[in-house]
Structures are given as C-alpha cells and as structure tokens.
Structure 1
Amino acid sequence: MQFHHHGYVSGDPRVQPAAGVGTNRPAELPDEVDVLIVGTGPAGMLAAAQLSQFPNVTTRIVERRPGRLAIGRADGIQTRTVETFQAFGFAERIIAEAYRITETAFWKPDPADPSRIIRTARTPDDPARISEFPHLVVNQARVLDYFAEFMATSPTRMSPDYGFEFRSLNVADEGEYPVTVTLLHTSGPHEGRERTVRAKYVVGADGARSKVRESIGCTLAGDQANHAWGVMDVLAVTDFPDIRLKCAIQSGVGGSILLIPREGGHLFRMYVDLGEVDTNSKGAVRSTSVEEIIDKANAILHPYTLDVRNIAWHSVYEVGHRLTDRFDDVLPEDRGTRTPRVFITGDACHTHSAKAGQGMNVSMQDGFNLAWKLGHVLEGRSPESLLSTYSAERQVVAQNLIDFDKKWSTLMAKKPEDFENPSDLEDFYVRTAEFPAGFMTQYAPSMLVGTADHQDLATGFPVGKRFKSAPVMRVADANPAHLGHHATADGRWRIYVFATSAQPGTGSATDLLAEWFANAPESPLAATPAEADPDAWFDVKVIYQQDHTSVDIAAVPTVFKPQVGPFKLTDYEKVYATDPNADIFELRGLDRGGVVVVVRPDQYVANVLPLTATADIAAFFAPLLQPRRTEELSSSAPA
C-alpha cells in the first residue's frame, strides 16, 4: 500500500482523500447521474466499488431494502474471487474470518449394508495449486460489507441509497442523460411516492426476477426446474465425523447432501436432496417444511444422526438453468449501429444451481468486467464502442457456467447405483476443479484482447485468461512480493516488461522500449492527461532477470520510476527482480529475450508481445483511447 505522496497521513491509509464528486457528495439521490446501479447484490456492489475509484463519475446504487443485507444466501468464495478481493484491498481480512476449504470428502453407501454411508474418498481442494489464495466460505452479507467499506473510503465517498425500488425505464434516442428511470420509495418519509432519475447508463443487478431485464425486453430461456433441494444453515450436534469438512454425500436410501461448513467454527450449510419435481405440482415442493428437510437429512446420514439446535436460515429451491440472449439493451439487429445504455449483470442474466458455488462468483466478475469500461468511457479515456464488449464477453462465460452446472447438479442428484464407475463423482470434481475455481474464463480476441501470435514468449500467461501472479523481489527495499497483488482495482491498465538479461542503462531492448514508452507520441502513455501523474492511466512495471542486489536502480529508466503526487516524488515500487526461491521467468515460461505482458484493469491478459514490437503495442491501444486523443497523437507523430 502506498501513501504519503500527497503529504503525511496519520490516520487509516485505506481512507483515500475525497475528490471530484466525492467532495460535498449530496446525501440525497440526485436527479441526474452518470451511472445508476439497481440492486446491492454482489455484482452491483462490485461494480459500484470499481466506479467509486473514478472521481469525476457520478455513480449511485439503489436498493429496495431499507438497509444492509443481514443474511445472504450465497456463501462460497472461489479462489479467483479472492484474487479479486485482493485488488480491492480486503482479501487478507476476509480470509481471516472465513472458513477455508482444503479438502472434500465423498461418502457413499456401504457395499456390505447400503442403508449405511461410509467415507470412500478425500480429495485436496486445489491439487494443482492454481492459485496462492484459498477457497473460502463466508456469508454474502460480509462480502457486501467489505465492498461498502471500500466505496465509503474511496475518492467519491459512495454509499448505497436504500429504500428505492425500480419500477421502469425509458431510453431516449438523444440527450446527455438519455435513460429515464422511475423509482418507488419503499421506506422513509416518502414511502409510496415515485421518483424519477435520469442517467447516462443503467446497470441492472436486481436478481433473477430482474425488472431492469424485463424493461429492456430480455427474457431468461432454458431448462425448467426438474429437481428440488432444501437448503439450511444450522447449528447442530451430530456424530457425523466430517461435519467440518466439505462433503458430497450419496445415500443408499435415496437422496444426497452437499455439506458446506461455514465460518465461525460451528455453523454449517446442508443442501438436502428433495427428489424429482412433479411438473404438474405448481411448485408445491416449495412448501416443504424445515422439519421435513431435517428428517430427510437424517435419513441420508444414517447411521449418523443430526440434532438441529438452531436454524439461521432455510429455503427450498428448484434447479433450473437459464440464460438471456444478451446482457444489454441493444437488439441483435441493431448491433454496430448504436452502443448500449442499459446493462444487466449476475442473476438477472443467468440462473443455475447453488451447489457449484458459482452464482455470486460469476456475478462479481460480470460487475468487474463492466464497471471499469463504464469508468473509462465516462472519463473520456475510451470510446463508447468499448461498452459493446461487455455482453459479448460475459454471455459466453455464463453459457459455459450453465453447461458445467448441468453436469455437476445432475451427478449430485444421481443415485449411487446408476453410476457406471463408483468414483465418477469425485473424478469429475477433481478433473474440473479449475472451472469452478474461476480460472477457465478465456476471452476471445477483440478490441480488448489480442491474438496469441507471440504466446510462446510467455506460455504461463495465456492471452485472454486471468493474470496468474508469481513471486518477485522488489529491488529498492529487498522486499519479496507477489507481482499480481500490487494490481489494485483503480481502473488502470498494467504493462509488465519482463527484461532481457542485460543490465539497465546499457542500451538493451528493455531500455529502448522504456524510452519509447516515455517519449514516443504513439505510445499509449502519451494519452495520459498532462495534469495527471504519468502513471495515472498505465501502470508500467519492469521485472529484471538478475538477483535484486545486481540491479543498479539508479540506471533503471525513468518510465519505471515515475514522479507522482504534488511533490513529484519518485515511485520506487515498479522495479522488480526475480525471487531467488521462485524465478518468475521459469514459473511462467517467459522468454529470456524479454517480453511485454499487457493486463486489463480487470486482471485479464490482453496481449503478449516482444520487447521490440512498439508498433504492435501502439496499434493495440489506439482503438482503446478516446478518439480525440488518438487523432492528436497521430497528427503529432513524426512524418
């Protein structure tokens, strides 16, 4: 964490100085906003948190509840999501309070007596070590609390506007604030009254029954529910030995349980199989009582018993897999003729079972993908065409999730005797571990993602996939660090320059690239506003192959040591060397001749290029810069 560069900070350094719209932020919801987010679920809150880092963008997030969420239904936090929490500065704190999943136990009928269950396997949660972060379980409400804290301490001093329910919207063909939104006060002195807000953009994060989705003519399509599950968070006494392990339990008497221990050491969640749903029952299964769910759980757990002492929450749901045809308000026939004004995220776009622990996690990545793009467009960094990439990128991810979840939920509901191989369930769990962890997303080539022409230069950083961090050593202070952990959710692009073996200041390809970044009119850094810090839009770091004691930091090019803040202080935290115990060049398959790895603000690798490919770097970033700046740069380039 960096601070003091604007003057001495004696208080909590996580509290950023108020700036822009955060200075004298109005307590009441204004009549006109840049972005109106509907719903304070995970997707909406992450989007708001990201936009809170853009001081000149007026973002408000409305919620029909009168206050914060007390008990959330989602609880599984996949490792990719914890990486995202690191970018927002609270991974360490939420890990400390969460339950950490390290193993999964599989229980099946005893062949000698099928009425009893026995443990048949235990598998590590992350056998391939795909992330340095753990798989967690923590109440959704706490996740939202952390995002709310991040927003409140951001330059915009953002906080949710509670007590507003979305009613309808209308999108005009023109005007600075073309989206007119009608809201209803649901609490407070104006309860029952309607309120109109005009916005440049609207984000619907209002759940599976989304009214924003309905207002733009999108519908969820897919499989109808055919299987029901009872879910309960309970405090109980039991002789089941693996009550503090994640378990997939299949019984011989019919039915299954997915057991998820919860944070705090005592609470746990059970997804209890209630069987096939009668399509003619008109949802009768939803009236299943919690007593019936407990009785079913005891039958499945035999010979063990479950004595429930307290129920924090319970519900009954039917598994259905549905997806919208688009994630914004642009009809297929209008693609390319206009840019979107209204977007939907999370459960408003895709619904599926809860047992793969994906809903909250994928929803947050929806919000992350969209929010920085809105910030760039509204701040004038990028053209509006950037916004069309949201639906194109995230719909594919949602479809892949639904395809995966169909397989997983089908296997969980399958009777043990119907498996061809007794180990099919655990084999599938281990074989597909990278998908639910959140690491199979790979964005296709687009204006935001380059082609893999030079992938051989950085085999461990696949283009389109998330940037997988690795240990390095900071040269200035000999501190070990994880390279990716310093990529905060500040809306900046990351450019990692993995240097040649030459020393800095010797005229190497690394030095020449640094000179181009700093001075060439076609360099993306040249688009940074003159009044801003030189690294305000692009965070450029260098990683040398040598031991940190062998790098002469005085000779390192100035583009890697920018002068920041009102006092123009030198930032020494962009210069790294290899960690003596874990060489990043070896770990990530980096070419010793050097390579540039470009990473998006949402942590996905956008391009891999040689150090000498300055024309390709310029060509990649040119469409991503605000059109006026691109024209200025072109006109100022030497003939």
Structure 2
Amino acid sequence: MQYHLNGFKPGNYQVIDEARQPYPNPPVEDLPSEVDVLIVGTGPAGLTMARQLSIFSDIKTCIVDMAPGPLLFGRADGISCRTQEIMEAFNCSEMVVKETYHLMQNTYWEPDPENPQNIRRLYKIDDARLGLSEFKHGIVNQARLHELLTDGMENSVTGLKPHYSRKLVSFEIDESLTQDLNAYPITATFERTDEMGKGKLETVKARFAVGCDGGRSSVRRGMGIALQGDSANKAWGVMDILLNTDFPNIRVKAFIQSKDHGAVMTIPREGGYLIRFYVELDLLGKDKRAADVALTEKDIIAKAQKIFHPYKLDVKEVAWWSIYEVGQRIAERFDNRPLESSEDIFPRAFLAGDACHTHSPKGGWGLNTSLPDTFNLGWKMAHVLQGKADPKLLNTYATERRKVAQHLIDADRELSKLVATRPTADDQSEQAHVDTKKIEEFMKRQSGFVAGTSIEYFPSYISTGQENQQLATGFNIGQRFHSAEAARVADGRHQHLGHLVKADGRWRVFIFGGKDDPRNSASSSYQLVDYLANHSESPIVKYTPKGADVDSVIDTYAVFQQQDLEMHDLPKFLWPAKGKYGLNDYEKVFQPIKGADIFDMRGINRDAGCIVIVRPDQHVANILPLTAHEALSKFFDHFMIEQN
C-alpha cells in the first residue's frame, strides 16, 4: 500500500489520501464513580490492558488520558514480530501486516577512507530477525495501532471507550483495604481539561489500578516509587520526513557514520515515501534536559545533510519531530507492594510501559516492551476478578516483566554507546570510536530480544516443567508458543496453531500424539482425553463452571500423526457440543503437513508425544508426558479456584 504522496495525513490508511481525516476528539462524558479496574494512560500499554478486559462483561473498566483525543502522530512506530503475534491474538494482525513497511534489509555506511568527508556503503545484509516468526518486523504509525485496539474495545461486549481530557491530580491507596479483594482501596481524582468542564474534579474508586501514563507518571509518584538509572547527557533528534534524495538506500534501514558530524540512523516508514531519521546531536550539559536544547527541525535537517555528504537531502515536509535525551531508567518495583513482601500479599496497583522503564527510542523497544507488559497482566487480573484464580497470581507480573525491562535497559545502554560518535557522560574521550561491525554483531546477538520472540519468564508455578523440555525442544518453556502450521482433520485447512491462542483469557492444552493410534483405547492419547473429559480431578472438570462450554476456561487441541483419521472416530471430547444449540466444534484436531511437519519443525518426540500447556498470553507454561495426568492437574491446582 502507498500513501502520503502529497503530504503526511494521519488517520485510517484504508481511506485514500485525498479523503482521509484525522481521528476526531470524542465528546467528554462523566467518569464512573466505581470501577473494577482503572487504567491511566492510552498508550500501547494502557490500550492493550483495556482491550483485553473489554471482552469480559462482568468486569467494569475505565481508561483515562490527559490528551484531548486519540494519538495522531506516532512516536514508537516499530512493530516487532512478537507484537504482531499479539495483534493476531486480537484478530487484527492482517491489517497490521497489510499496512506496515516490512523491514527486510539493513545497510551500514562509514567514512570513505579515500575521501573521509564522504560516506560509503560497507554492505547490505538481511535483517537478523527474519525467520524468527511467521511475521516480519514492521513500521507503521503508532496511532494506527492504537486505532485497531480502540476499535476492538468499542466493538466488544462492553463497548469500552477511553475518557480523554483528564489530568490526574491525586492517587491514593488505602493500605488497610488492599488485602480485601472486594474492597475499593484506590481513590483517584481527576481534573477535567476540556473547555466545557475545565477545572471540574471527578473521583473514581477502583479495586485495581494500572499506571500506563508515561515516563513522568503521576500514578508512579502517587505510589511513591522511584525510577533508578541515569542519563548519558546526550541528545538526538528524531523526525519523520518526506524527501527527495540521491542516497541509494533511502528505502532500507541504514546506520550512517560520518567522520566529523556524527551519525544518523534511518528507518523507512509505511506508505513508500515517509522515512524516519535519528540524528546524533551534541553532548548535553550536566543536569540539562533535551527540552533545554534550543534547536528546531531545520537544525536537525542541516545536521543530517552534513552527515550524508556527498548525497543530497531535499526535505519537502516534516510530519513530526522531537529532540530526546539518551538515558535508561527502571522503577524499583512494578506494583504497590513494599519490597521483600511475602507471597501472601497481593498487589492492587501496577505500573506498565514507560511508567516503569524508560530508554532511548533507537532500538525500537518502547512500544514492543510496553504492550507485552499489560498483555502479561491483563489475563491475570481477569482471572482474579472473575474468581478463577488465587490473587497471588498477580504477584507474577512484577517478577516476570521486571526481568524483561532490566534486559531492555542493559541492551539500550549498550546500543546507545555503540552508535554514539560523540562522547557521552561515561565516555569523555574527544571522539568515541564507532565499530560498525560491533553494531551488526549486537543486532544479531539481540535479534530474538528485539523481535520479542526470545523473551523468557523465570521458572515459576506458571512456567515450569523444564525437566521435560526434550519432549518438544522447539517449544521453549517460558517463551511464547512458537507457531507452526498443521492441517485440520475435518476439512484439510492449514492453520497456524499459535493463532488459536486468542486474547480471551483461556488456557490452551495442546496434545501432540505419539506413535500409538489415538482411536485405540489403550493409547496414551486416548487415555489422556478420557481423563480430561471425565475424571473428577481433571482440571477441565474442576475449573469449568457448571453449564459453561467445555472449552470456556481450558481449550484443548490435538495434533495426531496418523493421516487416515475421521473426526467421528475420535472421542467426542475432541469435537464437543457447544452453545445453546449444542453444535459440534470440528476445529480442534489436526495432522502434520507433509513437507512442513510440525513434529520435525518443533522437535516433538514422535514416539512418546507430549502435552504443551499454553498460557492466555501465549507463553509456554509447561510440557508434560502424555501419561502425566496427575502432574497436569497439580499444575492448575496450584493457583486455580475450583468452580464445581
């Protein structure tokens, strides 16, 4: 798709340039006085949290932001492979794939030894993230991603919409009420900032709250949580531009190092014409902020033109620009519990996104770390609010996501040093030496983290079973379920199994059958299915509410190696009757595809088979032998609440 030919226009890219309009500011409506969950901030973390909770009719959610309306100009526009997998869980990855620039190649440029005032290309290589997922790293306006999330909220059973034009003026937690799950210990007071209601105060009582309100988070201040870290006292300029140039790699991601004028990183944008520049500026003085730098977009362009010599940059339009400082900070804790709290104490307020980790934007990690923060938290909070799980489950959010944030901070600090040709606060040499090869090596080494596909949660009661990893070496416990295609038995359709794990709060149990025929009542697969369907200790029997569909809490799928299967020859549990009419679901059983066999692709033991338990956030929670019925039940017994 091509757009922005005659100037940048925000809005729905499915509307042609000539007719596209910016998203309008919605009318201001009163805030509710009491809610189950209060979300502050409509960035990627806040909207992902709201999008998940919006599908539950029994959870009352409110999301609030200080802005007058939806975001128009993107800030963090890189969409990693893992983020696109999450968007698939929300049923909108097709639009993301269709509209994004697909990052396929990288180029590296440095001063020409024969004429050092000019730059020359060292090489062009394939992007290191290719092949890590069925999706490719993409670039698209962050505002467009926001629109897809808010559309999903509005079209859900709750019709959830953000409340704009609210400034949070106080945030208080009554510690005496935090361990009473039915209490409303959080009191948030907002001041309206719209013209009609300017100065009016509104108070919201909440059972839980999530601060997704950015690096200067008011929720974080209200919780008394400090950011830890430092600044490199280094400024960079960033701008999205439409331009003409004779630079040969303008539509390929490029890192460009000049001899005397610093460095530029270029990232092509969606639509074929727009491109983002990150331009290295000078060292900031001690205790100075990027906001103190008296430069304009014209200064950033002039600096870029010097770095690109001998190539010409004829900038026609600057769609957006900013100056930012390099720094890495992380919150000392991600929830309201005091440090060293026991596991018996569960949290009521949380931080996510930039509210608990800030860094430079060059690595494209901001949105792609913020969005998975609340993808991790949302299902856990829904479980607790719906009485499905013990509140202690909420403690795992901080444990799992702070590890990821620390990795992000460390990686960003390393990258910021590698790409700086001017000194930083901890490198006061007259000119830092940039080794382009080291930058390439860094990107290769961090490719899984940048893609989001290698993010792994600590071993815990919802990330366990490492002793059985050899049964399926390609499904790494703690990492996301690495999707692969299989053929549906009922109709032969090829289906990505990872795309079955939607953001609906359900667990998935994947049965990968061994060499025995699953139609044989003596086989391990048949006996496992019988246990799940009928045994009193089965997690499906214990944790599915009476009268609910059999897959409403734990959704079971099977992949069998035999190629002559018919659905009606298999146990009825695998084609269950559902809904008010008792219609049979024929989409739960699969076979390997010849030439792309999932057993080979994911290292699944063909003789023994295995069970793979997948969390509602798509991470592998456990791998078990097909015969481990008791262990399967004990896994869920550790945190789930019996419904019958």
**Is the pair's TM-score, using the shorter chain for normalization, greater than 0.5?**
yes
Structure-2-length-normalised TM-score: 0.91
Which residues of structure 1 form unaligned runs of 5+? 1-25, 633-639
Q: CA deviation at 1:45?
A: 0.2
Change (3 A) 1:420 1:264: closer
Which residue pairs with 1:10 in the alignment? none
Which residue pairs with 2:143 in the alignment? 141
Which residue pairs with 1:239 in the alignment? 246
Which residue pairs with 2:450 in the alignment? 436
Given candidates 524, 549, 567, the residue that maps to 1:533 is 549
Q: Match of 2:631, as an amino acid? A: D
Change (3 A) 1:460 1:282: closer
Which residue pairs with 2:385 in the alignment? 378
Moved more, 43-52 or 176-185: 176-185
SS at match of 1:224: strand
SS at match of 1:183: strand
Q: Deviations over 1:592-638 (max 9, x none)?
A: 11100001000100000000001111111002212x54xx6xxxxxx
Q: Match of 2:294, as an amino acid? A: S
Say whether 1:615 aligns with 2:630. Answer: yes
Q: Match of 2:41, as an amino acid? A: G
- What is the distance in 2 between the residues matched to 1:104 and 1:496? 37
- What is the distance in 2 between the residues matched to 1:285 and 1:405? 23
Given candidates 6, 30, 33, the residue that maps to 2:32 is 30
Which residue pairs with 1:482 in the alignment? 496
CA contact (8 A) 1:503 1:551 kept: no
CA contact (8 A) 1:504 1:551 kept: no
- What is the distance in 2 between the residues matched to 1:268 and 1:461? 37
CA contact (8 A) 1:117 1:251 kept: yes
SS at match of 1:388: helix
Which residue pairs with 1:448 in the alignment? 462
Given candidates 523, 539, 552, the residue that maps to 2:538 is 523
Q: Deviations over 1:479-520 (max 9, x none)?
A: 111111121111111110001223332111001000111111
CA contact (8 A) 2:129 2:451 kept: no
CA contact (8 A) 1:286 1:317 kept: no
Moved more, 439-448 or 454-463: 439-448
Which residue pairs with 1:71 in the alignment? 73
Say whether 1:601 aligns with 2:616. Answer: yes
Q: CA deviation at 1:127?
A: 5.9
- What is the distance in 1 between the residues matched to 2:199 and 2:130? 54
Given candidates 495, 498, 501, the residue that maps to 2:512 is 498
- What is the distance in 2 between the residues matched to 1:199 and 1:523? 35
Q: Deviations over 1:128-166 (max 9, x none)?
A: 611110110001100100000111111111111122221
Given candidates 40, 51, 54, the residue that maps to 1:49 is 51
Change (3 A) 1:398 1:595: same
Which residues of structure 2 form unaligned runs of 5+? 1-27, 424-430
Which residue pairs with 2:482 in the alignment? 468
Given candidates 85, 90, 93, the residue that maps to 1:91 is 93
SS at match of 2:527: helix
Which residue pairs with 2:10 in the alignment? none
Q: CA deviation at 1:187?
A: 1.4
Q: Deviations over 1:193-248 (max 9, x none)?
A: 11111110001000000000011111111022321100111111111111111111
Q: CA deviation at 1:589?
A: 0.4
SS at match of 2:368: helix
- What is the distance in 2 between the residues matched to 1:343 and 1:462? 28
Which residue pairs with 1:111 in the alignment? 113
Given candidates 117, 120, 123, the residue that maps to 1:121 is 123
CA contact (8 A) 2:186 2:208 kept: yes
- What is the distance in 1 between the residues matched to 2:455 and 2:202? 40
Which residue pairs with 1:23 in the alignment? none
Identical pairs, percent:
44
Moved more, 67-76 or 32-41: 67-76
Q: CA deviation at 1:28?
A: 4.0
Change (3 A) 1:282 1:366: closer
Segments of 4+ in structure 1 off by > 6 A?
A: none
In angstroms, what is the RMSD of aligned CA positions? 1.7
Given candidates 31, 38, 41, the residue that maps to 1:39 is 41
Structure-1-length-normalised TM-score: 0.92
Change (3 A) 1:497 1:284: closer
Which residue pairs with 1:18 in the alignment? none
Say whether 1:251 aligns with 2:265. Answer: no
- What is the distance in 2 between the residues matched to 1:288 and 1:420? 25
Given candidates 57, 61, 64, the residue that maps to 2:63 is 61
Say whether 1:544 aligns with 2:567. Answer: no
Q: CA deviation at 1:467?
A: 0.6
Change (3 A) 1:32 1:293: same
Change (3 A) 1:157 1:347: same
Say whether 1:425 aligns with 2:439. Answer: yes
Q: Match of 1:490, as an amino acid? A: D
The count of residues paired between Structure 1 and Structure 2 equals 602
Which residue pairs with 2:279 in the alignment? 272
Given candidates 403, 409, 412, the residue that maps to 2:410 is 403
Q: Match of 1:164, as an amino acid? A: R
- What is the distance in 1 between the residues matched to 2:356 and 2:147? 24
Q: CA deviation at 1:421?
A: 5.5
Change (3 A) 1:30 1:497: same
CA contact (8 A) 1:473 1:481 kept: yes
